[in-house]
Amino acid sequence: MTRVVVAASAVYGHFAPMRSIAADLVGRGHQVTVLTGSVYRDEVRGTGATFEAVDGAADFVFEEKAADPERLALPVGPAQLDWDVRNIFLQSVPGQHSALQRVLADAAEEPVVLLAETGFAGALPVMLGAPGRRPDAVVGIGVLPLTISSVDTAPFGMGLPPDYSKEGRARNRELNAAMRTQVLGGAQRLFAGILADLGCPGRPPFFMDAPLSEADVFLQLSVEELSYRRTDLPEHVHFIGRLPEDPGTGARLPQWWADVLDAGRVVVVTQGTLANLDLGRLIEPALEALADEQVLVVAATGTDREVRGVPANARVARFIPFELLLPHTDLLITNGGFGGVQQALAHGVPMVLAGQSEDKLESNVRVAATGAAVNLGTDNPSPMDIRKAVDSVLSESGYRQNAARLRADYAALDALDVIDTTMRRLMSRTA
């Protein structure tokens, strides 16, 4: 029997989709081991999969990393991206590699198919020639906006739209080279040093390209429009939509839930579950901006921190199941994590976006390019700017029409079926 190893870095936004994939594969009869941070041990076991922890520096608590004073002192954008890449993802490679080798050794003679999300680079050493056992097949799962370099686009992390003209492609080549050698040059050198220490010969590919370029198949959790059209996209890359939502059965709804059902218009605002240390960045300005509007504003904080200045037309909760809330939502104001914006688009909900950290800079530019959102291009929008953007999205039909078009694109794809079909095809080759 072929063993399936699902691997995820110890970052919740990377782990959560892989947990869902693992649960589905278990339900379809696969023998599944999940390799990730020990903080997710109980969640993994709840899926019916076998849990294995990564080793050493790879086994961290992400919230502690995110709150590192050195990281917070850096400006959002390329500088903070460089810190995250070096201190969260690349320093995890040795511990991910050793743990993966342990799991592969435990499999003995069994064939192994590995599903590794974008941020789990622990399979790259053996894929690039380091001593050890290579999985019999490797499937990359794209949980971030597509990161691979292209002649048609500026590099991931710069938040620039594509340019297919002759001049634009010259710009793209120049910017991609600068990203590899200057902006993220230190991270690339760290990656090369880590691989050399693990016994990899030769010069490695760019670390942001490698999880995609080295996989046998790469399945991107999105629709192609959110990754731009790329004439040089490798043939083994496929867009598979998004994972299905938990139906929300049994979820505890707030006492004021009837207000949502009765409201003429509902605007939801959230800062997600990571960039919510300061609710004055987006939630509080949004509440101020819409205090006099004929809408019900629902703020999902993701934290126990107090929200200041809550107006009469607003309702606040730490958590609300978005799979239940979005069908009643006319507009989402968000800082724009990739998973969250895709969830909104899958429901046909247009957005106002205001986020620059982590993957948000890139994600928000891509969503705005679809015509389904206004991107304010800042982490700290003013109430006036928020109100103007909300008025535009609610009054101009194009935003909702574009969101509806993308909803249809998502509805046409079944990510879990594609993953299972891909797994079975690869298993037939390894049997």
- The sign one gets for the Cα dihedral 22, 2, 99, 97 is negative
Q: What is the pLDDT of residue 232?
A: 93
Q: Please report, for residues 101, 287, 430, the alpha-carbon distance to residue 141 in angstroms, rounded to integers and kept in the order given.
A: 20, 37, 20
Q: What are the pLDDT tens digits along the chain (431 aa)?
A: 789 999 999 998 899 999 999 999 999 999 999 999 999 999 999 999 999 999 999 999 988 998 899 998 988 777 888 999 999 999 999 999 999 999 999 998 899 999 999 999 999 999 999 999 999 999 999 998 898 999 999 888 888 888 899 999 999 999 999 999 998 999 999 999 999 999 999 899 999 999 999 999 999 999 999 888 899 999 999 999 999 986 655 568 899 999 999 999 999 999 876 666 677 789 999 999 999 999 999 999 887 788 898 999 999 998 888 999 999 999 999 998 888 899 999 999 999 999 887 678 888 999 999 999 999 999 899 999 999 999 999 999 999 999 999 999 999 999 999 999 999 999 888 66
Domain 3-241+413-430 and domain 257-411, same fold? Reply is yes
Which overall architecture, per CATH, does domain 3-241+413-430 show?
Answer: 3-Layer(aba) Sandwich (3.40)
- CB within 8 A of 189, min separation 6: which ones? none
Q: pLDDT (tens digit, 9 = 90+) per residue, 66-83?
A: 889 999 898 877 788 899
Q: What is the pLDDT of residue 431?
A: 63
CATH number assigned to the domain covering 257-411: 3.40.50.2000
pTM equals 0.90
- The residue ranges of every structural domain in the chain are 3-241+413-430, 257-411
